[in-house]
Amino acid sequence: MTGMSTNPSFSDLTTIGVGGAIRSFIEPHTRAELLDAVRSTDEAGRRLCVIGGGSNMLVGDDAFDGVVIRDARRDITLLDADTGTAAVGMPAHDEAPGDVLIRAQAGCHWDDFVRASISAGCQGVEGLSGIPGTVGASVVQNIGAYGQEVSASVDSVEVWDRAGACVGTLGTREMGFGYRMSALKRSMLQTDVPDVEQPGASRFSPTPRYVVISVTFRLHRGGEGVLGYDQLARALHAQVGDRMPVGDIRSAVLAVRAAKGMLEDAHRYERPFMRGCVDERGLREALRAQSEQSDVGAGPVTDRHSCGSFFMNPMLTPQAARALPEDAPRFDAGSDTGDKTIKTSAAWLIDHAGFHRGFVVRPGAKAALSSRHTLALTNLGGARAHDVVELAQAVQRGVHRAFGVCLTPEPVVVGLPLH
Ligand SMILES: Cc1cc2nc3c(=O)[nH]c(=O)nc-3n(C[C@H](O)[C@H](O)[C@H](O)COP(=O)(O)OP(=O)(O)OC[C@H]3O[C@@H](n4cnc5c(N)ncnc54)[C@H](O)[C@@H]3O)c2cc1C
């Protein structure tokens, strides 16, 4: 349980810094405490929100009359690739190529895990360096960046199934990964298991049917990764497909992210309720890098007070994609159902619908588009959730008017009229 006398509010726990009071806050330090907290909340019929780093949540200003659980377990364990049991020591860098299994507890800070896996001489998640949040949430929306998605490195996910009230293990097939999607996220969107308090919403929202307990990753032994993204290749003066040391890829990713305001504000971990959520060494490095970046004009720190990319890249039918202007980006996104799907760029649509960096709905508004790119909605200081919603809806309306495309928010939206 938390040792604090008062509860945090969602504005204390989320990267965008908005959201109302929390009635009950539990911070389990053991697996048994975690399972007990989730089970008893469900048995009592109370609303449940398992929160990680709060980097993909936009929560309303009203008090949340349920239980918020933040897993305080953050261990990372190297497993024996043959037996799946804990192994002693980390692999030596000069060992033969092969797979390495590493298990991380759900509450582990995502970037602490990336750093640890690179220090252990493993390749597979370096392109996902600097994404805020936790290991548990990384598989909920299948985080992705710079040509990598976490799904490619997941071996299995240990979960608590809230429907069956039991522990289970989900392999990659059961996880049903897609673009920013998984079986866990789908359970939050399923309205055939409705919420009694919020008609039209899933019973498993804002927290999925499966609560992640730990994730086992299958990484590759070896100090080099492949550059899978043009922008990254350019930053490293190389070509897409070239092999580079994973440490260099991580440094380039962090530099590109910093320049776009797509890293979280490291100072948040110095505040009450956030202290201790990251590894101390990692925090010192992040604070140092952040102060160096501000010296070279990496934009105002408020660019980092966001939920990252606020809108998903729309998936369109070929017919809808044909209706877009000729120069709109189009990527073949395959299809689960047999019908072809074309992905376009939310950022391109926003830019070409007339929105500019730093856009505000009116002078003096407290929420703005990032000064670095138009896909992030930021809190300029003192914004409330309704300020962010007003901005998001203005962007949705503008894009719909210009291109007939509905933009869908990427963050998990709680208690707000935003879809
Ligand atoms: C500056 C910035 C940059 C970003 N860049 C990227 C990017 O490049 N690519 C990308 O994909 N995302 C990006 N994001 C989004 C975000 O970082 C990811 O979605 C991240 O995985 C969220 O993790 P979290 O722990 O903060 O989740 P939260 O925001 O705390 O929670 C999100 C959802 O996951 C659920 N959840 C949390 N923990 C668990 C658990 N243990 N079991 C089950 N459900 C759980 C919550 O209930 C909620 O529904 C960015 C965000 C920011 C602020």
pLDDT, one tens digit per residue, over 1-50 is: 444 458 999 999 999 999 999 999 999 999 999 999 999 999 999 999 99
Of 16, 25, 51, the residue with max ligand 1 atoms within 8 A of its CB, to mutate for a pocket test, comes to 51
Q: Which of 309, 370, 371, 372 is catalytic?
A: 309
28 CB-near residues (< 8 Å, 6+ apart):
1, 34, 36, 37, 69, 71, 72, 73
Residue 116 confidence (pLDDT): 96
- Please tell me if the CB atom of residue 91 comes closer than 6 angstroms to any atom of ligand 1: no
Instruction: Tell me which amino acid residue 95 is.
Output: E
CATH topology of domain 76-226: 3.30.465
Low-confidence spans in the chain with pLDDT less than 70: 1-5, 81-82, 87-97, 192-201, 295-297, 336-338
Of 15, 26, 56, the residue with max ligand 1 atoms within 8 A of its CB, to mutate for a pocket test, comes to 56
Quick one: how far is CA 406 from the chain centroid? 22
- Please tell me if the CB atom of residue 53 comes closer than 6 angstroms to any atom of ligand 1: yes
292 carries an active-site annotation: no
Q: Are 375 and 350 in contact (CB under 8 A)?
A: yes
> CA–CA separation, 183 vs 188, rounded Å?
9
270 carries an active-site annotation: no
Instruction: Tell me which amino acid residue 8 is.
Output: P
Task: Specify burial of residue 399 (Cβ count, 10 A radius: 0-12, 13-18, 19+).
Answer: buried
Q: Which of 180, 203, 209, 221 is catalytic?
A: 180
Cα distances from 105 to residues 66, 110, 167, 224, 262, in angstroms, run: 24, 10, 15, 26, 25
- Please tell me if the CB atom of residue 127 comes closer than 6 angstroms to any atom of ligand 1: no
For residue 292 the two structure tokens come to 């160096």
Site of tokens 């690179």? 118
Centre of ligand 1 from the C-alpha of residue 131, in Å: 8
Is 3.90.78.10 the CATH classification of the domain at 303-414?
yes
Centre of ligand 1 from the C-alpha of residue 139, in Å: 9
Domain definitions of the chain by residue range:
10-69, 76-226, 303-414
pLDDT in tens, 64-123: 999 999 999 999 999 976 677 776 555 555 455 689 999 999 999 999 999 999 999 999
C-alpha closest to that of 102 among 213, 217, 215, 222? 217
- Please tell me if the CB atom of residue 19 comes closer than 6 angstroms to any atom of ligand 1: no
Cα distances from 19 to residues 157, 301, 388, in angstroms, run: 29, 20, 11
Q: Determine the 3-state secondary structure of 245 from DSSP.
A: strand
Q: Are 263 and 305 in contact (CB under 8 A)?
A: no
Strand 224-226 relative to strand 154-161: parallel, antiparallel, unpaired? Answer: unpaired
Atom from ligand 1 closest to the CA of residue 71: 41
Of 27, 31, 55, the residue with max ligand 1 atoms within 8 A of its CB, to mutate for a pocket test, comes to 55
- Please tell me if the CB atom of residue 143 comes closer than 6 angstroms to any atom of ligand 1: yes
Residue 109, Ramachandran bin (φ over 0: left; ψ between -120 and 50: alpha; else beta): beta
> CA–CA separation, 307 vs 143, rounded Å?
13
Atom from ligand 1 closest to the CA of residue 262: 1
Helix (H) or strand (E) holding 32: helix 31-43
- Please tell me if the CB atom of residue 157 comes closer than 6 angstroms to any atom of ligand 1: no
Residue 132 confidence (pLDDT): 98
Instruction: Break the chain down into helix, strand, coil percent, rounded to 5.
Output: 30, 25, 45
C-alpha closest to that of 35 among 210, 196, 183, 182? 210
Of 15, 16, 18, 140, the residue with max ligand 1 atoms within 8 A of its CB, to mutate for a pocket test, comes to 140
> CA–CA separation, 37 vs 48, rounded Å?
10
Atom from ligand 1 closest to the CA of residue 185: 49
Q: Determine the 3-state secondary structure of 67 from DSSP.
A: strand
- Please tell me if the CB atom of residue 57 comes closer than 6 angstroms to any atom of ligand 1: yes
> CA–CA separation, 261 vs 306, rounded Å?
9
User: CATH number for the 10-69 domain, one of 3.30.43.10, 3.40.50.10420, 3.30.465.10, 3.30.70.860?
Assistant: 3.30.43.10
Residue 228 confidence (pLDDT): 86
pTM over 0.75: yes
Residue 171 confidence (pLDDT): 98
- Please tell me if the CB atom of residue 66 comes closer than 6 angstroms to any atom of ligand 1: no
309 carries an active-site annotation: yes
Q: Which of 27, 126, 149, 410 is catalytic?
A: 410
206 CB-near residues (< 8 Å, 6+ apart):
49, 57, 188, 412, 414
Q: Return the residue whose CA atom lies nearest to atom 17 of ligand 1.
A: 132
Q: Are 119 and 90 in contact (CB under 8 A)?
A: yes
Residue 4 confidence (pLDDT): 47
C-alpha closest to that of 391 among 411, 371, 362? 362
